[in-house]
């Protein structure tokens, strides 16, 4: 496998692919047409030296993926709004109105991302901590309680992923998630990006966001087991303060995993790949076509595949 540098995510009835600052969203509209929108996203930090610093780059990448992910999801959902709605809304005719609408959209997007982060922290970080305090009645070992807290966090996370996978709409998103992975795996293994080759490729990928979140959960166990303070309030504050650090460390592992075929790295990547069996489903040919359209809008896969063949 050869690292391509492209990544993406599933959206509603579509796939987003990103290559450096350029990204494309391909969506299959209700009339069966595939529409592709190409744009650029420079990120929240423009200084390349700062944004490429280890640990910090993971924090920036996580925030940027949330913002861009919400933006592309909103774009894809716009084609399926109830009409008033089955047609995409027309942009305001006046330039001032366009600017105003854009500002309002940015504010709403920022608010949605902020609320999502707060809810995620509350459910996956704070809730397990408070539940784990119940076990302090039965053991005086801080490390045992911290371990139980970590197990609870993993159970809540995996249970949440499994539960939403039962929803029909989410299942279709997971199928597009599978199409995204299969397209990337296809070209990274030196195969032409065709429907037939994509179908033969794996729907699991080591650089997946699912694996990243699982690594965050696992690494948090070790952080909280070995960082101990007596005050309950300080323990809670530490859990909040250390979230960016844990995310940064987790990103570094995912980054290494995506570029390495080392046996140990592959072994450590296995839990994330197993969890992807819940968050990726086998796509149909129509979904694969959408994934291919998204890749081709931002990445010259033919030149890339030719390079791989010459190296062999």
The closest of 217, 222, 219 to 146, measured between CA atoms, is: 222
CA distance 150 to 71: 32
Task: Report the candidate in 181, 156, 155 with the shortest Cα–Cα distance to residue 279.
Answer: 181
> Is pLDDT larger for residue 91 or for residue 76?
76
Please identify which residue in the block is written with the tokens 């998103």.
173
Which residues face 24 on adjacent strands? Answer: 17, 38
Residue 85: inside a domain: no
Closest CA to 125 of 215, 236, 46: 236
Whether 89 is in a domain gets the answer no
Q: What is the pLDDT of residue 176?
A: 97
In this predicted structure, the answer to whether residue 48 has a pLDDT above a threshold of 90 is no
Does residue 94 fall inside a structural domain? no
Asked, for residue 87, whether it belongs to a domain, the answer is no
pLDDT at 102 over 60: no
Of residues 83 and 285, which shows the higher confidence score?
285
| CA terminus-to-terminus distance, the chain | 12
pLDDT at 300 over 50: yes
- Kindly calculate the radius of gyration of the chain based on its CA atoms and give it in whole angstroms: 21
Angstrom distance (rounded) from CA 6 to CA 16: 10
Q: What is the pLDDT of residue 121?
A: 80
Q: Are strands 22-28 and 34-40 parallel, antiparallel or unpaired?
A: antiparallel
Is residue 12 assigned to a domain?
yes
Strand partners, 6: 19
Split at pLDDT 50, 70, 90, the class of 89 is very low
Task: Please tell me the total number of residues recorded for the chain in this structure.
Answer: 312
The residues with which 39 forms a beta bridge, in sequence order, are: 23
Taking residues 206-210, what's their average pLDDT?
A: 94
Spatial contact of 23 and 17, defined as CB atoms under 8 Å apart: yes
Decide which of 148 and 107 is more confident.
148
Nearest one of 185, 212, 217 to 198, comparing CA atoms: 185
Is pLDDT of 113 > 90?
no
pLDDT attached to residue 196: 97
DSSP state of 123: I
Output the DSSP codes for 90-105.
PPPSSHHHHHHHHHHH
Q: For residue 183, give its domain range.
A: 6-79+107-311
DSSP 166: T
Beta strands in the chain (DSSP E): 6-11, 14-19, 22-28, 34-40
Give the least confident one: 33-42, 58-67, 81-90, 275-284: 81-90
117-126, 143-152, 156-165: which range is least confident on average?
117-126
Rounded average pLDDT over 183-196: 96
State how many domains the chain has. Answer: 1
pLDDT for residue 260 is more than 50 = yes
Q: Is residue 93 part of a domain?
A: no
Computed over every residue of the chain, the mean pLDDT equals 88
The answer, as to whether pTM is greater than 0.75, is: yes
User: Contacts from 52-55 at CB under 8 Å and sequence distance 24+?
Assistant: 54/248, 54/252, 55/245, 55/248, 55/249, 55/251, 55/252
| 40 bridge partner residues | 22
Residue 263 has pLDDT above 50, yes or no: yes
Average pLDDT over residues 150-157: 94
Kindly state whether residue 102 falls inside one of the protein's structural domains: no
> What's the pLDDT at 18?
96
Task: Please report which confidence band the pLDDT of residue 104 belongs to, taking 50, 70 and 90 as the band edges.
Answer: low
* Residue 100 belongs to a domain: no
- Report d(CA 126, CA 153) in Å as an integer: 9
Per-residue confidence band for 42, with pLDDT thresholds at 50, 70 and 90: confident
State the pLDDT at residue 157: 93
Report the b/e string of 239-277 with b at 16+ CB within 10 A: beebbbbbbbbbbebbbebbeeeeeeeeebbeebbebbe
Token pair in block for residue 250:
């987790």
Distance CA 288, CA 33 (A): 14
Q: For the chain, give the percent of residues with pLDDT over 70.
A: 89
**DSSP-assigned letter for residue 78:** G
Residue predicted with more confidence, 17 or 109: 17
User: Is the pLDDT reported for residue 172 higher than 80?
Assistant: yes
Indicate whether 115 pLDDT > 50. Answer: yes
pLDDT of residue 228: 81
């Amino acid at each position: 496998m050869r690292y391509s540098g492209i990544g993406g995510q599933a959206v509603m009835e579509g796939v987003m692919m990103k290559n450096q600052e350029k990204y494309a969203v391909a969506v299959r509209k209700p009339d069966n047409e595939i529409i592709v929108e190409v744009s650029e996203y420079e990120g929240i930090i423009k200084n390349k030296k700062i944004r490429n610093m280890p640990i910090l780059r993971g924090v920036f990448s996580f925030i940027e993926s949330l913002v861009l992910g919400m933006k592309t999801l909103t774009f894809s959902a716009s084609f399926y709004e109830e009409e008033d709605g089955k047609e995409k809304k027309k942009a305001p005719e006046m330039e001032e109105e366009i600017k105003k609408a854009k500002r309002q959209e940015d504010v709403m997007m920022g608010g949605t991302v902020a609320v999502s982060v707060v809810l995620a922290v509350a459910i996956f970080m704070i809730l397990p901590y408070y539940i784990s305090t119940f076990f302090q009645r039965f053991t005086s070992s801080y490390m045992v309680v911290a371990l139980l807290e970590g197990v609870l966090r993993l159970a809540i996370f995996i249970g949440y992923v499994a539960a939403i996978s039962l929803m029909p709409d989410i299942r279709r998103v997971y199928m597009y998630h599978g199409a995204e992975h299969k397209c990337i795996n296809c070209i990274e293994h030196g195969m032409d990006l065709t429907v037939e080759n994509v179908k033969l490729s794996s729907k699991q990928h080591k650089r997946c966001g699912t694996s990243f979140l699982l690594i965050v959960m696992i690494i948090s166990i070790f952080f909280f087991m070995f960082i101990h303070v007596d005050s309950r309030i300080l323990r809670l504050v530490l859990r909040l303060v250390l979230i960016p650090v844990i995310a940064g460390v987790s990103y570094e592992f995912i980054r290494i995993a995506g570029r390495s075929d080392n046996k140990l790295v592959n072994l450590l990547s296995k839990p994330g790949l197993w969890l992807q069996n819940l968050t990726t489903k086998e796509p149909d040919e129509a979904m694969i076509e959408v994934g291919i359209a998204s890749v081709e809008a931002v990445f010259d896969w033919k030149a890339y595949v030719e390079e791989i063949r010459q190296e062999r």
